[in-house]
Amino acid sequence: RFLSQSVQLVGLGSESFDDAMDAIRSMQVMGEREFRDGELEHWKPMSMKGLDAIELSNRYFRPRNTTNNEEGVPFPNDVDPVGILAKMAQRKWIHTEDNEVRYYRGVMDERGKKRQARYVSAKPQIFRVGDIVEAQCSVMFLRTNEGMARMKMILRALALINSDNSTVSNGIHNDDTMKRKIGFKEEEEDIDARAKKTNRTDDHEREERMMMEP
């Protein structure tokens, strides 16, 4: 029930990360107007070595609606290679599109004299502590068992931008650092039907460049 995909992010002074934190705080203020005074729990960032950090997560399952014959979506092979998660779902739980997290990596293409950045699908196991990533999330307001409400960031997508920090100890260095505007955009030949759905955004979704921290 509580199994989830999650990531902890810290900006280390990144301006875009600070902007994202300000946006989340603004959403907290706006959300307070949707509840009775004091009903929404106060949100505050995590602290890692004195720096603001944030955790984004998304559960693998949600309770199955017993009033209809809803169908879930299959787990990607990279997420559930031997079908363990699929077996856990059975009748009580269901894995839906809202439970899915998309994984990407940024690559640099040589096109004549220009170098163009793009995203391609990636396996979740490529990520390491210290990687520079871009993350996409949704902000939701949830009811607690105590009758209160709280704000939660739901992980939607994660893209590896630079792995120099995590590979330097192995003597590996990548000179192709991604330098582009935020947003997951793939070339047409790399986009499948499910990836197209992932790249949509709404008023509550925000993508920011961040650095992973243990």
d(CA 211, CA 158) in angstroms, rounded, equals: 11
Instruction: Report residue 118's pLDDT band, with 50, 70 and 90 as the boundaries.
Output: confident
Q: Which helix (H) or strand (E) holds 16?
A: helix 15-32
Instruction: Report residue 192's pLDDT band, with 50, 70 and 90 as the boundaries.
Output: very low
Instruction: Report residue 67's pLDDT band, with 50, 70 and 90 as the boundaries.
Output: low
Least-confidence region, from 45-49, 66-70, 151-155: 66-70
Alpha-helical (H) ranges within 55-205 are: 84-89, 164-167, 193-198
Please count the CA atoms within 13 angstroms of the CA of 179 that sit on its side-chain side.
Answer: 5
Please count the CA atoms within 13 angstroms of the CA of 154 that sit on its side-chain side.
Answer: 17
d(CA 137, CA 140) in angstroms, rounded, equals: 10
Helix (H, G, I), strand (E, B) or coil at 84: helix
Instruction: Report residue 101's pLDDT band, with 50, 70 and 90 as the boundaries.
Output: very high
| pLDDT for 214 | 44
| pLDDT for 164 | 82
Find out whether 94 and 70 touch, Cβ atoms under 8 Å.
yes
b/e map 98-116, b = 16+ CB within 10 Å: ebbbbbbbbbbeeeeeeee
Mean pLDDT of the chain: 79
